[in-house]
Amino acid sequence: MAVPLVCLMLLAGVSGGAAAREAGAAEELARELLAHYAAPGDCLRRRAAEFLLEGLPLQWHYDVSRLEETGAKVRVMDSEVVDADYLAENIEYAFMAWELPWARDLSFEEFCRYLLPYKMGNEAPERWRAAVWEEFAWVRERSDASTDATEVCRWIDDDVNSWYTVNLDYNYPADAGYLKAKEIRQGTCQGASLMVLYPLRALGVAATYDYVPHWGNRNGRHNWNALYDHGYLRTFNGPDRNPGEHKVEFIGVGRMYFRRPKIYRKDYLSGGAVDVTAEYVPAVDISVPIRGARKGSVHLTVFDNANWRSVCEGERSGGRAEFESMVREIAYLPVVTEDGRGRPFGPPLVVDRRGRVRTFRPGLRRHRVALTAKYPEDESNRIFPGEHYELFYWGGRWKSLGMQTATDTVLVYYRVPRGALLWLRNLDKGVQERIFIYEKGRQVWY
């Protein structure tokens, strides 16, 4: 059995004898694993083994002993610690899960992506399959012919919620596998969404870890789980919210609707994440002219109260930057990144509901603006007399329109460029700030 192509591509970057040794080890692992499935009736298991082998060179973890003893983050490739028996055990238990009544409708591709992987994040490999299969034997005993994946998901979610605590001060510097999580019994929100995948996939529930790298109109990011049941994608926030109880966005009284610019899914085969935005919301492709940026990677960024953060890397094509599946009604700034430094290569833009691209360029004409808030999230972001403010507009960078001490609950600025993207800061307090435009006598937020 030859080493999968992706193995050879990765090993090409390793020089001399090290490359030869790693290639030899990869060939030996592949040979030993595939020897388990040489019989004619083992066709699907052999394909499953090939799937795991293809993604294996992209999997890594931190050296646990050094991480816990000294805090040093030393990467170790999974291929250095897993063997053929480990992967074969994972395959056998995954096939047992696929035979459960609520999992039988899954295609082989869905089985590979959502049941078969031996890990969920960058955690160190564990022999978790047998332990979890036995721990949740009660699920198999409790189920009957009418039990579906959504019901199983709720049972498991409730069980995990009984012992797992989300701790905002938790600082373990890596993802924890299921057995490690059972020992620690707490973790981050991200850790919860990754950890709950272990019992779900062990019991044949096609579940995923999806996330927004950054909200499109506020600070912060978000992650959640999703499961496929009878062709429907149902989100939940394990182990906190069951399917049907979870909303990805939030909207409160008088608050902004939380918008997702891009949505990604953890993916074993790619070793990272894949873009699944179009599975959730209508999206459009955006094409931006590249001016004065001959080198570097091209990105669309969103504003996070103070800085522009990348949410999508695009492709160069004929003097343009092409970005696929972007969400409408979010302000983006196109940025080129080279040697770790980014700079804009075009004005901020937004795609309206009809799919039309609008750019925000400061015009020569000026006008008066009357501002009532720096962010429409709650009353604390209103204008307060006696407090100090500074207004900026975007013209290739943030340019100040001057500082003022508020004398009323409305802050008035004169000679503000029409069509410009604006940013108002309270210099005395608070961190919640949003970009906006001013048209028809009011602030329009992004």
Residue 354 and residue 231 share a domain: no
What does the pLDDT read at residue 250? Answer: 58
Rounded (5°) CA angle 27-32-34: 95
Q: Which segments of 196-286 does DSSP mark as H helices, in order? A: 197-202, 277-280
What does the pLDDT read at residue 377? Answer: 82
Comparing 77-91, 240-254, 277-291, 411-425, which segment has the lowest mean pLDDT? 240-254
What does the pLDDT read at residue 20? Answer: 63
Residue 137 and residue 62 share a domain: yes
Average pLDDT over residues 320-335: 96
Separation of alpha carbons 215 and 433, rounded Å: 14
Among 217, 236, 255, where does a domain finish?
Answer: 236
Residue 334 and residue 395 share a domain: no
> What is the Rg, in whole angstroms, of the alpha carbon atoms belonging to the chain?
26
Residue 214 and residue 184 share a domain: yes
pLDDT of 307 above 50: yes
Read off the pLDDT of residues 118-145 as tens digits, 9 standing for 90 and up: 999 999 999 999 999 999 999 999 999 8
Rounded (5°) CA angle 75-81-87: 125
Domain that holds residue 395: 366-445
Identify any residues that bridge with 235 across adjacent strands, giving them in sequence order: 226
**Contact yes or no for 171/215 (Cβ under 8 A):** no
Among 330, 359, 388, where does a domain finish?
Answer: 359
User: How many angstroms separate the Cα of 349 from the Cα of each of 187, 201, 217, 294, 299?
Assistant: 38, 41, 13, 21, 13
Residue 213 and residue 87 share a domain: yes
| Domain assignment present for 254 | no
Comparing 155-169, 265-279, 318-332, which segment has the lowest mean pLDDT? 155-169
Residue 176 and residue 142 share a domain: yes
**High-pLDDT (> 70) share of the chain, %:** 93
CATH code of the domain in which 439 resides? 2.60.40
| Domain assignment present for 187 | yes
Residue 320 and residue 194 share a domain: no
DSSP state of 256: P
Separation of alpha carbons 128 and 199, rounded Å: 9
pTM higher than 0.95, yes or no?
no
Residue 294 and residue 216 share a domain: no
Separation of alpha carbons 430 and 423, rounded Å: 14
DSSP state of 49: H
**Contact yes or no for 281/290 (Cβ under 8 A):** no
What total of structural domains would you count in the chain? Answer: 3
Separation of alpha carbons 214 and 236, rounded Å: 19
CATH code of the domain in which 103 resides? 3.10.620
* Per-chain mean pLDDT for the chain: 90
* CA torsion angle 167 121 202 55 (round to 10): 180
